[in-house]
A and B are shown apart, each in its own frame.
Chain A
Amino acid sequence: QVTLKESGPALVKPTQTLTLTCTFSGFSLSTYGMRVSWIRQPPGKALEWLARIDWDDDKFYSTSLKTRLTISKDTSKNQVVLTMTNMDPVDTATYYCARTNSSSGLVFDYWGQGALVTVSS
């Protein structure tokens, strides 16, 4: 059974760095074809793809946010970490992590429940 769960601070101040952790089970990110992405959704707004890390440690970032994002993985802990620097109130959103298994193409087949992060002083 595949599960993912996001964790991190619910509230961050402007200019701070956000660190979110996606802890997953039911698959290994060292297995060929496995990928984990971060996706966010501001309240009442659309989904936005942020970053992805692959089984071979390849990393990809949103063009518009790449200077602020870092994605990494700890295979032994079954975790993927996303850091976002210089947080701003517009970054207030629910942050999701989601799995892709390349045997199913680029589908996000499993999602976490999401973690709401509010940016406010």
Chain B
Amino acid sequence: SNELTQPPSVSVSPGQTARITCSGDALPKKYAYWYQQKSGQAPVVVIYEDSKRPSGIPERFSGSSSGTMATLTISGTQVEDEADYYCYSTDSSDNHRGVFGGGTKLTVL
């Protein structure tokens, strides 16, 4: 299996850098993906394969992974970035069964 652990909440002031971590034993071997979910909406991918940014996602979103920890960094956080963020990866035994982290509520105040 591959459990992913995230902090329940992170708070930053507008313009500051937010860092959200995701730890999991399989992350040295598996990619991490990051999804942003705003209230009442379906999730949207903001980072895939540890550090790649989909088209249309602002450059202030970046990702990295080292050892058993993946990190989503939002530089110059804006009020509209306030949302829940979920990391996602795959089971340690294969790339077929998915697992989400518990989610992190990002508050921008």
Binding site for B on A (CB under 8 A): 37, 39, 46-49, 52, 58, 60-63, 96, 98, 104-109, 111-114
Contacts and interface: CB of A to CB of B under 8 A. Distances in A.
Contact of B42 (A49, A60, A107, A111): A111
A112 B43 CA distance: 10
Given A52-B96, A63-B1, A46 B103 contact: yes
Nearest to B102: A46
A49 B98 contact: yes
B61 interface: no
Interface string B67-109: 0000000000000000000101011000111111111000000
13 contacts: A47-B35, A49-B88, A49-B98, A49-B99, A49-B100, A62-B97, A63-B91, A105-B31, A106-B98, A109-B54, A111-B42, A112-B42, A114-B42
Nearest to A102: B95
Contacts of A60: 96-97
Contacts, number: 61
Interface in B49-63: 49, 54
A16 B41 CA distance: 28
A46 B48 contact: no
Given A63-B1, A106-B33, A49 B45 contact: no
Interface residues of B, number: 25
Given A47-B86, A52-B98, A61-B97, A109 B45 contact: yes
A61 B96 CA distance: 8
A96 B98 contact: no
Contacts of B54: 107, 109
A105 B43 contact: no
B60 to A, nearest CB: 20
Contacts of A52: 96, 98
Ranked 5 nearest A-B pairs via Cβ: A49-B98, A111-B42, A60-B96, A47-B100, A107-B48
A23 B37 CA distance: 22
Contact of A108 (B1, B31, B43, B49): B43
